[in-house]
Each structure stands twice: as C-alpha cells, then as structure tokens.
A and B are shown apart, each in its own frame.
Chain A
Amino acid sequence: MNLQSRFGWVMRWESMLGLVLIVEIVLFASLSPYFLNIWTLSDATFNFTERAVIALPLALLIIAGEIDISVAAIIALASVAMGLAAGQGVGTPGLVAVGLGTGLVAGAINGALVTLGRVPSIVATIGTMTLFRGVAYAVLGDRVLKEYPASFSVFGQGYLVGPLSIELTLVVVLAVVFGVFLHLTRWGRTIYALGANPIAARWSGVPVDRYRFMLFAVTGLCSGLAAVLLTSRLGSTRPSIAQGWELEIVSMVILGGVSVWGGKGTIPGVLLAAVVLGLVNFGLGLLNVPGIVMSIIVGALLILVVAIPVIGQRWAAARPARRAS
C-alpha cells in the first residue's frame, strides 16, 4: 500500500465523516424546525468544544503510539484547584493560571511516569486517572464549589462576535495550530515516525522521550484549558465533573481516523469526528434521550470504528483469491 493509497484511504475516511455530518444535519433539521437557527447551532457546539480542546493534542499523542485516559480526571483536578483558589479570593487571571498550571503539572507527571519511570502509558494513566480523580474526591468529598468571580464566566459563556462563542473560536484556533504542526512541520512528521516504529525512530536520532514528555505535558495543559472552559461554563465544581469524558474524547480521536496502533491519523478527521459526536449528543438532548444512552452509542461506535477496517481488510484480502481460483 503506497503513499497514494494510504492517503486515498484517509481521504475516504474523512469524506465518510463529512457525509455522516451532512446526514446528521439534515436529519435533525427535519426533526426540529429550530435546528437550523444560528443560535441553536451555536449552543450545539458546546457539546464538543471542551472535548475537542483535549481531543486535538490527544490525537497527536495516540499517533505517537501512546495513550492518556487520565484527561477527564485532570479536568476534575484542575477544576478543584481553581475552585479552592477562587474560594481564597484569587481573581480570574489567577484562576486561569491555576487551571492551566494544574493541567500542565498533571501532564508532566504522566510524561515522567512514561519516560522516566518507563511505565507503559496505559497503566500509568489508569493509575493517574484514579489518583487525580481520587484527590478531587478526597479534597471535596460531596461538597460543591461555587464561589467564582463574575468575570470568570466569560470563557465558557462569552461570545466573540454574534453567535460565535469564545469556546468555539478557541477550538478553531487550536485546530489550526495543531493541524499545521502535525501536517506541515518536521516535528509533526517525526511524531508519525515515532508512532509507526519507535525503535527505528530513536535509532535514527529522534529524541523520542523528549517528544513523549512534551506530548503528555501539552495534553495535560489542554485538559487544564478544558477545565477552565467547562468550569467557567458551569459556574461550579464537583468532584464528578467530566465523569466519563475520557471515553468520549478517546472515541472522538479514534472516530477521527487515528489508528490505535499509532503512526496514522489526521487533524481534520478528529475535528470532523468531534463535530459529528457533538451533534449526536445535542440531537439526543433535543429528543430528550438521557445521557446514558449516549454512552451506549459512543461505546458501540468506538468498537465499530476500530473493527470496520479490520473486517474490510479481510474482505479485500479474500477477494483476489476467489478471483484467481
């Protein structure tokens, strides 16, 4: 399979996603006359913006051959940190710093466990997921933190111009940044190599551990950013914040065409997947379907997305033989 067909396959995946998106929009538009209202659509975006902020760096991480399922727990930890800081009277800029800083430190811990501790990323992040969420619960118990300054709500509830929310703007900006980085720069190219064959990459002079650490740190930082956005939008912090989001975010990345084995995937794909999943979430909400049903869909979708290429390959491999005989 040469570069052409590999690109061809990817293009097909994204086209498929684009198609699904169009079908979704048509479906929802026909089910509800309010759907195509620009403000409704703007509201809909909140279903994926915070998750997309994390899905973008996570995509790079998975392409590089690692995984991080502690991202939702990092949101919780950062949110708790911000809530406590707010309780101490820290102002909005300080809160943002606390949120981002907590995320960055958490990501660095993940990075250190994987690069220095040499723990496989799946085990390390299962551990930190439990640890970070656990600390959030331990600190808050069953309390809720609500003392955020009024200006803090601008991130999650503010709009840049008209119906264009600050969150959506942020997602677009990040998508462009990550997209350019991954697809057009040499560091992005190196990340693909790292995921496809980490040994050959290292032995070609790539400082693999430095890349991994940075990717975990950035993922943590973006989780902190997501925490700022989410907490700002909700206006409160509970230890159960973003519970179950790790599944949705990983699903977004995999649905976006990123291979679980590393070395393959694109940013446009992940962005499309984010929108597709976000709309599904929104649509189900419109139809008054409880959130837990969403998790059935996401779970099944995750398995399907990984299974279909395998089944497809087997089917394709079986065909020439039949033709020959």
Chain B
Amino acid sequence: MAVAVQQETSHPILTLSQVRKSFGGAHALRDANLALYPGQVTALIGENGAGKSTLVKILCGVHQPDGGEIVLDGKHVRVHDPEHARQLGINVVHQECVVFDNLSVAENIFISARPKQGRFVAWREMRKRAAEILKQLDVSFDPDTPASQLSVAQKHIVQIARALTSDARVLILDEPTAALSHREADDLFRIARRLKDSGCALLFISHKFEEIFALADRYVVFRDGASVGDGMIAHTNTEHLIRLMVGRSVEQLFPKLETTLGEELLRVENLSRAQEFENVSFSVRRGETLGIYGLVGAGRTELAQCLFGLTAPDSGSVHLNGKAVSISNPADAVRNGLAYVPEDRQQQGAILPFSIAANVCLPNLGSLAPRGFCNRERELQLANHWIGALGIKATGPRQNVGDLSGGNQQKVVIAKWLARTPQVLILDEPTKGIDVGAKSAVHAVTSEFAQRGNAVVMISSELPEILGMSDRVLVMRRGRVRALLDRSEATAENVVQAATDA
C-alpha cells in the first residue's frame, strides 16, 4: 500500500466557503467549507443528515446554494445544472444507480457527450473510444454489453468511465463501496488512485474508516451542516474522527445484554435457492443473537427473504421449535412467529405517509379487531405503549412516520413486529444510515428482545456491530456458509477472511 504523499503547499483546485442551503425551513448546510487539492484524495466524513449529500448535489448542479462561494481554478462559479458541472470538469459517481439499463455500456459512457459526425451519432467512434477507456480501467466487459447485464460494481465503473470522457478535474465518489465486495472495492480504489496520479482532485465520501485510511490524503468532517474539522489523514485516527463527527466520544456503542441460551428455536437445514444461496444450515437458540456477516452478493438478504416467505426455496427445510414448517408467503411466516425488518426502511419497512399508529397496527389488525371492526382507542393505546417502550421521539402516535428521523423510523418498524410477539426477529442491516447515537438504541431493543427468550438473526455488513452484538457469527460468501464462529473466537480478521477467501 503506497503511502500518500503530503503536499502541504499545493493550491486547491476547488474551494467552497461558507456555503449555505436550506429546504423549506430546514437547514441542510449552515457553514460548509471544503478544499480539494489536485492529485489528492479528500475524505468527507459525517453522520447522516450532516449535509454531505446536499453538498454533492450543489457541486454537481442539481441544487443551487443559498449563500457562500464556490471557487474553481481561482474563478467564482455557479454550477447551473449537471451538464454545466460536467463541462466544468466536475464529475460524480453516485451511490444510486445512474446507469441506463436499456442502453449499452458505450452509450452509457458517452451519454452526455455523444461523438457526432455532423449532426448524427457516430456509433463506431463511440464504441472505439469506449473500448479505449475501458481498457484504461482494465475491466472485463466490453462496450457492447447491455448495461442491464452488469453487476453493481461494474455499473459504478461505468460511471467513472463517464467521467473520463472529458477532462475530469474533480471526481466525487459518493459512498461508492456501499454495494461492493472487497475485491471490487480494491479495483475501484486502484482506478481512483490512477486518476489521482493524473492530477484529478478526488472527494471520497464514506462511512468506512478502513477505506478512508487506505485511500485518503486529507479529511474534512461535517456535523449538522457545517464543517467542524479538517486536516491530513496521517495526523489523525478513528477515535478523533468519530469525536468530530458526533461531537462527543461515544462509549458503550454496543449494549449487549447477557442472555442465557435455551433450547434450539430455529433450525435451517440445507436450504437452497438457485443463483442465490446453497446448502445453508444453521440453528439459533432461545436468547441467542446470530449475526450473519458477508459482503454484498453473499446471499444473506436472499436467505432472510426466503426464510420469511417472500421467495420459495428450491430445497431444504426450516424447523421451528423442532417441527418442520412450510412457509410460502409472509403471512405464513408471521403466523409461525417470524418477523423481518428489511434493509430499506423507507420503501420496504414502513409506510411513510401513514401515522405511527397506522404502521404499528398494520400487522396486528387481526388481534386488534378480531371481529373486523377497528377500535381507534385500542390502536392508539398500542402505539403509545411502543412509543414509550422503545423511546420513539415523536409528537404522538398520530405523527407521520415520514417526519421522523431514521433511527426513530426504524424503531417504528421494529415496534410493529414486537407487538406481534414473534419468536424470531430477523433484521437486515438494522442500523444502516442511522446516526451513531441512535444505533445503540436499536441494539438495546434487540438485545432485550433476545434476553426475553427469543432469537435474533441480525444481518450486517458492519464488523463492529456484528462482533459487538452477536453470540455467534455466521459468515457467508457467494451463497454458502463459510464459517460459524462463536463470540469468543470471532475476530475482525477471521471473520473478514472467511467472507473474502476465494
């Protein structure tokens, strides 16, 4: 790993000073200051809601700032729209998919800059130049491939390729490895380093300290819409950065409670589903928290969704309390005492335009209204009970879930399941995108649930979370179980090794 060369005396190519932006009455950015240096990678760190994505949108022209200055190459600029940003040399690799599945790779790369012959699209030239760029990036797919056939990682690379069609002065990578495996992330970093060496200024937004320390030369920390610290990476460490991010040092991140492990509650035997996972077997006991670790593509979410009845297995069996059960849809799963808190709490977990009460009551209507007629009193009572039990910060049971913070939204999703008194709670990336402070609250809830004699299956990509909260760790890779480690023997090294070993 090459050590980043410190260039204290070079001039920044892009600076933002005191940039402000609000939406409605809410301030997304209060006092944003940032400097990007050519040939260097600057990491932008901050909790969710700190203003990072607003900053990116301003830089790429989607939003206009309310105040402050942007200086590019010594000149004041206003980025009018994404096309203008591209012309200025500012390119962004977004977290979401900004690739067109219905078009080829070549066309995707040149989507904003189609080579023309007169007034008409020159396909042959497009394909040739695309091939050249792809060769530069050393990838395995060719320009004619339909983008729909690419993996998420490959689509990210196409986004980078897009940046290379014009003179890229600034490249912004917005949480690029959220959906990548380690090998794919390494590929991405290799490409990023090459760009850096050619004089491009990179802004690297990430939550993963491991990657930040591997890739970045400098850092900037945002908190509540303002920049609160910056400097050289070599002069700092994770603790210092977290303190800047959160404003206090965070102890007791993982409030795992001691539990007594009872008899086996859930047993999965040789569960397989074509192209998703194969021969998965494990068991979970009462009081136990089983953490499932793996990279994207390992098949963990697919496994959870199969257990919950969203998809059907090709072979294998599932046993609850010693009895084999057949689960062909979520209603079955719920009836058998399973509950699933999905990864995307906004699209899959909660109904945002509805109230807390409506959300919490939805899977519980059977018991709340046994003869069919709803009783609003009882519904509000139920909601209030869980608002209290989980410490949900809201104005009341009638508040819309969409108005709550990420952590509180997640609590509502968990509450709706806990109200059904399930025996097995399956959580998929439960604290993704939740502030450090709120994460521990969610963990406290699940740990307490386990302590009451139930089982918790927690899927996570965050090592500290897995190591901190699990009694046992199941490691998956490419659809198979690679390791099953007890809490006492699991370390960051052996877990990651099992997840990435070929």
Q: Which residues of A contact B (CB under 8 A)?
A: 1-4, 184-187, 189-190, 192-193, 196-197, 199-207, 263, 317, 320-321, 324
| A/B interface sample: 29 pairs, CB < 8 A | A1-B400, A2-B355, A2-B399, A2-B400, A4-B398, A185-B372, A186-B368, A187-B372, A189-B358, A189-B365, A189-B374, A192-B358, A196-B351, A196-B353, A197-B350, A200-B347, A200-B349, A200-B351, A202-B330, A203-B308, A203-B340, A204-B330, A204-B362, A205-B330, A205-B333, A205-B334, A206-B331, A206-B363, A320-B25
Cβ A205 vs Cβ B331 within 8 A: yes
Q: How many A-B residue pairs have CB under 8 A?
A: 87
What 0/1 readout, one digit per residue, does chain B (334-367) give for beta carbons within 8 Å of chain A?
A: 1000001010000111111111011001110110
Question: Given A190-B365, A203-B310, A203-B340 in contact, is the A263-B374 Cβ separation under 8 Å?
Answer: no
Cβ A186 vs Cβ B374 within 8 A: yes
Q: Which of B400-455 contact A (CB under 8 A)?
A: 400, 403, 416
Cβ A197 vs Cβ B347 within 8 A: yes
| CB-based nearest A residue for B368 | A186
Question: Complex Cα distance A185/B329, Å?
Answer: 23
Question: Given A2-B400, A320-B25 in contact, is the A200-B350 Cβ separation under 8 Å?
Answer: yes
| CB-based nearest B residue for A195 | B351
Question: Given A186-B366, A193-B358, A320-B24 in contact, is the A203-B374 Cβ separation under 8 Å?
Answer: no
Query: Counting CB contacts under 8 A, is B98 at the interface?
Result: no
Query: Counting CB contacts under 8 A, is B214 at the interface?
Result: no
Measured between beta carbons, the chain A residues less than 8 angstroms from B349 are: 200, 203
Measured between beta carbons, the chain A residues less than 8 angstroms from B122 are: none
Measured between beta carbons, the chain B residues less than 8 angstroms from A205 are: 330-331, 333-334, 363
Cβ A201 vs Cβ B362 within 8 A: yes
Query: Counting CB contacts under 8 A, is B369 at the interface?
Result: yes
Cβ A206 vs Cβ B362 within 8 A: yes
Question: Complex Cα distance A81/B139, Å?
Answer: 64
Q: Which residues of B contact A (CB under 8 A)?
A: 24-25, 308, 310, 329-331, 333-334, 340, 342, 347-355, 357-358, 361-363, 365-366, 368-369, 372-374, 395, 398-400, 403, 416
A309 to chain B, nearest CB (A): 14
Question: Given A185-B374, A207-B329 in contact, is the A199-B347 Cβ separation under 8 Å?
Answer: yes
Dominant secondary structure of chain B at its interface with chain A:
mixed
Question: Complex Cα distance A144/B369, Å?
Answer: 51
Cβ A186 vs Cβ B355 within 8 A: no
Measured between beta carbons, the chain A residues less than 8 angstroms from B342 are: 203
Q: Which of B330, B350, B355, B416 has the most CB of A within 10 A?
A: B330
B427 to chain A, nearest CB (A): 13
| CB-based nearest B residue for A196 | B351
| CB-based nearest A residue for B396 | A2
Measured between beta carbons, the chain A residues less than 8 angstroms from B355 are: 2-3
Measured between beta carbons, the chain A residues less than 8 angstroms from B24 are: 317, 320-321
Question: Complex Cα distance A90/B55, Å?
Answer: 74
Cβ A3 vs Cβ B398 within 8 A: yes
Q: For B348, give its contact among A1, A190, A196, A203 (CB under 8 Å).
A: A203
B332 to chain A, nearest CB (A): 9
